[in-house]
Amino acid sequence: MKKGQISIEFLFGIGIIFFIFLALWTFTLVTQDRSLRLDTSLRIKTECTKLANLITYTFLTNTAHTASSAYPFTIVNTSRVIIMDTVSCSLPLNALTGGNFSQGTLHLHSIASYVEVTQ
Amino acid sequence: MTRGQIVLSDLVFGIVIFLILMTTFIVEWTRLNGRLEDKNTFDELELLTFQIADLLIKQPGTPSDWETSPPTVDVLGLAETDRILSPAKVLALQNLSYDTTRTLLNVERFELYILLQQHNSAIIEIGSVPTKRAVHIRRYVTYANKQATLDIALSEQ
């Protein structure tokens, strides 16, 4: 072997390492994307759950409450579901008003065993 | 061997060890994600179970005299007042079908089990004891002027 010449085995080794790192990089990108989406959906789910709890609490205690939502959401009173972005959470009661709500302050009132949500 | 030359077998050995470690990491990572998703489902079950228990034992339902005409019920409730159950409402709940009860409580996706007991004998039992992973809570209530327990369990189908 001449001085300064690299062997075919060395090139082969470098090639393998290159492909391994390429695969790892792809895996990292996919995992990172999945983790970020999971993190966002967990945050939205927590927000949705808080709202569902507050609606149930308002119904149970016949009281009025003010809350704020960090995300826009829809209450589908026919299927008793709160849809917040890609997340949904269900409610065990169907005595509430439905509608689309934007992020911000919310007012919850219990009127004659019926929960009304307004903004 | 010439000084400064790379030995291929060392390189292969290093790559194999690295790949084993990476595979272990990826498998463990995937398993953790699965567990996190499981935990989310379990948290939802837990929340719904607590909400259902509160609904049943803390308020009379809507309309408040739904037991006189069960098909008109909007929201189930068994209480005369907080944690004091009405025997008429309990009887009316027993006469509702299992699917109707699940629909009224919006838990059609899950298996529901309700058991009201007094002195270890069942007053009403709705559904069957869950065999899968379930959230099970017990509340102490007053039924017919005596202490009773209301067990509620929700499990995956």
Q: How many CA atoms lie within 13 A of B63 on its CB side?
A: 8
Q: What is the mean pLDDT of residues B103-110?
A: 94
Confidence of residue B7 (pLDDT cuts 50, 70, 90): low
Q: Which amino acid is at B132?
A: K
Interface list for B 92-151 with A (CB within 8 A): 104-107
* Residue A44 · residue A85 · CB < 8 Å: yes
A20 → closest Cβ in B6, B15, B29: B15
**Does the pLDDT of residue B145 top 70, yes or no?**
yes
**Does the pLDDT of residue B33 top 90, yes or no?**
no
- Neighboring chain A residues of B18 at a CB cutoff of 8 Å: 20
- Model pLDDT, residue A85: 92
User: For chain A, which residues score pLDDT lower than 70?
Assistant: 1-4
Q: Chain-centre distance of CA A69, in angstroms?
A: 13
Q: Give me the percent of chain B exceeding a pLDDT of 70.
A: 95
Q: Which of B54, B72, B29, B102 is nearest to A24 (CA)?
A: B29
**B62 to A114: CB separation less than 8 angstroms, yes or no:** yes
Q: Is 0.90 exceeded by the ipTM? A: no
Q: Which of B93, B111, B104, B91 is nearest to B152 (CA)?
A: B111
Tokens of A15: 């090639």
- Model pLDDT, residue B6: 59
**Chain A residues with CB within 8 Å of chain B CB:** 9-10, 13, 16-17, 20, 24, 27, 31, 34, 38, 42, 45, 49, 52-53, 56, 59-60, 80, 89-95, 113-114
A113 → closest Cβ in B44, B62, B106: B62
- Model pLDDT, residue A16: 84
A56 → closest Cβ in B36, B54, B63: B54
Confidence of residue B65 (pLDDT cuts 50, 70, 90): very high
* Residue B62 · residue A95 · CB < 8 Å: yes
* Residue B93 · residue B112 · CB < 8 Å: no
Q: What is the mean pLDDT of chain B?
A: 91
Q: Which amino acid is at B7?
A: V
Q: Give me the percent of chain B exceeding a pLDDT of 90.
A: 75
Tokens of A58: 């308002």
**Does the pLDDT of residue B87 top 60, yes or no?**
yes
Q: Which of B77, B50, B84 is nearest to B62 (CA)?
A: B77
Q: Is B55 within 8 Å of chain A by CB? A: yes
Q: What is the mean pLDDT of residues B22-41?
A: 88
**A20 to B47: CB separation less than 8 angstroms, yes or no:** no
**B47 to A52: CB separation less than 8 angstroms, yes or no:** yes
- Model pLDDT, residue B154: 96
Beta carbon pairs, A and B, within 8 Å: 68
**B75 to A53: CB separation less than 8 angstroms, yes or no:** no
- Model pLDDT, residue A3: 67
Q: Is B1 within 8 Å of chain A by CB? A: no
Q: What is the mean pLDDT of residues B106-120?
A: 95
- Model pLDDT, residue A7: 79
Cis peptide before B63 (omega within 30 of 0): yes
**A95 to B36: CB separation less than 8 angstroms, yes or no:** no
Interface list for B 64-83 with A (CB within 8 A): 64, 74-75
Confidence of residue B137 (pLDDT cuts 50, 70, 90): very high
Q: What is the pLDDT of residues A65-96, one digit of tens each?
A: 999 999 999 999 888 999 999 899 999 888 88
**Does the pLDDT of residue B1 top 60, yes or no?**
no
- Model pLDDT, residue A112: 78
A60 → closest Cβ in B6, B26, B59: B59
- Model pLDDT, residue A65: 94
- Model pLDDT, residue A6: 73
* Residue B42 · residue B54 · CB < 8 Å: no
- Model pLDDT, residue A2: 65
- Model pLDDT, residue A10: 78
